[in-house]
Every structure is written in structure tokens, then in C-alpha cells.
Amino acid sequence: MNKILAIGRRILSVLVTLWGVSVIIFVVLRLLPGNAVTAAMGVSEGLLTHAQVAALNRYYGVGQPAVQQYLSWLHATITGNLGISLSSRMAVSTLVGTALPVTLELAFFAMLLGLLIGVGFGMFSALHPGRWQDDLGQTVSVVGLAVPSFILGTVLVVFMSTKFHYFPSSLGFIGFFTDPWLNFQQIIFPALVLSLGIGAAILRTTRAAVLEVSGLNFARTALGKGVSRKAFIWRHLFLNALTAVVTMSGIQLGYLLGGTVIIEQIFILPGMGRLLITAINNRDFPVVQSVTLIFAAGFVIVNMLVDVAYSLIDPRTRKR
């Protein structure tokens, strides 16, 4: 019964959060200059008659009260109708269906590289405190946190294209199943740029958690009983520090979904981030609303999955 209530509370919190995000998105977009008619017609709006403008206002729902506009949009979104793009005249669901796999692939590789960097250097640093290995890990974390990803991405693109005349994304994005090797080349560099910041945060968390665990009584007792070094490192240190690592990884993954916006623009990847920037520039409200809501949903769902992972990793949380 307690588990059912806990699951119900989590689901309810997710729904309430997404509802709040939908309200904020709707209000913020309505505060921007212009409206759907202006975005759709551009400068041609000035050539329309009053009757034509009124007809367009009715078509796009601009003349309706704000509450009615919001409820109409919310109902359509819940039923799976994301609307029609004002700029491309295509269904928003079609645009999202094309862009979302690119962002998910980029996020997967960035997170994978971030975990390798963070956990690898974090363990390496924590097992040699105060020595050169620790200094190396600390340097990697400081560089990863200090250098913004958009600067690193821009420098990497300029360097590759000018020095080596190499920029795979200039050929147009190729799906994995069409050409796996070219797809890998197009994804790996932006994923590497994103992974440095992610890895730096996970590195610091891993190092701190492992050092804290290594100072606890049970760890010293295990060493005193003659446990092998390999078993001590992975079974006693890493597994007991895993909760903190999972927490930071979940936070970084949530931020990563939104952090792809600038990187996709720099590396010319047709993902959700680039779709969002293009939609904002074109005042394409249906696309902006849908993409932003999907980013928010991804962040909330990742945090919920982290909570579920707690109950699997830490037995003390299973009673809740």
C-alpha cells in the first residue's frame, strides 16, 4: 500500500510540475512582441484588409481570451495534437519526430562519455589523495567546469575546419542506420564537448563520495579483515558511493537535454535544440511551446527515474 501511495505521489508531482511549466511557457510567449498572425504573415500583414486580419485572428485563436487559448492548447497537446508550424506549415509532431532522435542520440553519447570521464577520473583521484593522480583529476574537473561548452564547441569547429578541413556535419546529418560511421563522426565531437562539463561535475561528486566512504568504520574494518584491493574498491567504496553518483548523473542528464540547444546550433545538428532556436527566431509559437514542454517533461521524468533508482540502490529508501 505504501509503495502504491509513493508511486501515486510521484506521478502527481510530475503532472503538477508539467502543468506549471505549461502555464509559464504559455504566458512568456504571449509577452513577446507579435502574435501568431504576425509570425505567419510577416510584413505581408500590413497588406491585409481588416476582414482578412479578423479572419486570421479567428483561425489562429488570437482574438480569444487568454484562458480559452490556454485550455484549447492544453487539450490539443494532451490528445497528441501539437498543432501546425507557422513557418514550415508542417505538423509539429512531424518536426519533433525528426529532431528528437538526433537529440536523444547526442545525449546518449554525451552522457556515456561524461560517465567514463567522471567515474574514471573520480575513482582515480580518490584512490590517490594528495598525489599527482589527485591533482590530475582536480585539474580535469576545474577545466571542465570553467570552460563553457559553447566556447569549446566553437573553437573545436574552427580548428577542425581550418586546420584539417574536416567538418562532417557540413555533409548534412546522416542517420545511424544510413551510414553508421559518418553518423558517429557527426555525433562524437559535439558529444565530447558536452561530456566535459558533465564529467567534471560527476568527477567531483565521485571523488568526494568515495573519500567519505573510505573514512567510515566499515571500510577500515573490511581492510583489516584482509579484503582484496579490487573487492574493496568496487564492492565497498564504489557501490556505497553510487547513490551520490546516480544523483549527480540524473541532474546532469536533465540539464543535458536542454544544454544541447547551443551545441546543436554550432555543429549544425537538426535536433530539438536547433528546432527550438529556429522556431524562436520565426515566432513559431506552436513549435516553441511543444519543444519546451518536451524538454521540461524529459527533465522531470529523469528526476523521477533517479528517485526510483534510489530504492534499487539504497535499501534504506525502500521502506518509504
- pLDDT value of residue 109: 93
- Identify which of 144, 38, 228, 282 has the alpha carbon closest to the alpha carbon of residue 237: 228
- Coil/strand/helix, residue 127: coil
For the chain, residues classed under CATH 1.10.3720.10 are 92-317
- pLDDT value of residue 79: 82
Per-residue confidence at 46, pLDDT binned at 50, 70, 90? low
6 has pLDDT over 60: yes
In contact, 159 and 151? CB cutoff 8 Å: no
* CA gap 62, 68 in Å, rounded: 10
User: Which residue(s) pair with 91 in the sheet?
Assistant: 84
Mean pLDDT, residues 199-207 = 90
CA angle at 74 for the pair 69 and 78, rounded to the nearest 5°: 155
Measured CA to CA in angstroms, residue 225 lies from 83, 90, 128, 235, 288 at distances of 65, 67, 22, 14, 60
Q: Which of 5-19, 51-65, 93-107, 151-165 has the lowest mean pLDDT?
A: 51-65
CATH fold for domain 92-317? MetI-like fold (1.10.3720)
- pLDDT value of residue 34: 60
- pLDDT value of residue 112: 93
Q: What percent of the chain has pLDDT over 70?
A: 84
Per-residue confidence at 217, pLDDT binned at 50, 70, 90? confident
- pLDDT value of residue 56: 65
Using CB atoms within 10 Å of the CB of residue 31, give its burial: 0 to 12 exposed, 13 to 18 middle, 19+ buried.
exposed
In contact, 37 and 62? CB cutoff 8 Å: yes
- pLDDT value of residue 113: 93
Between residues 220 and 178, the one the model is more confident about? 178
Per-residue confidence at 320, pLDDT binned at 50, 70, 90? very low
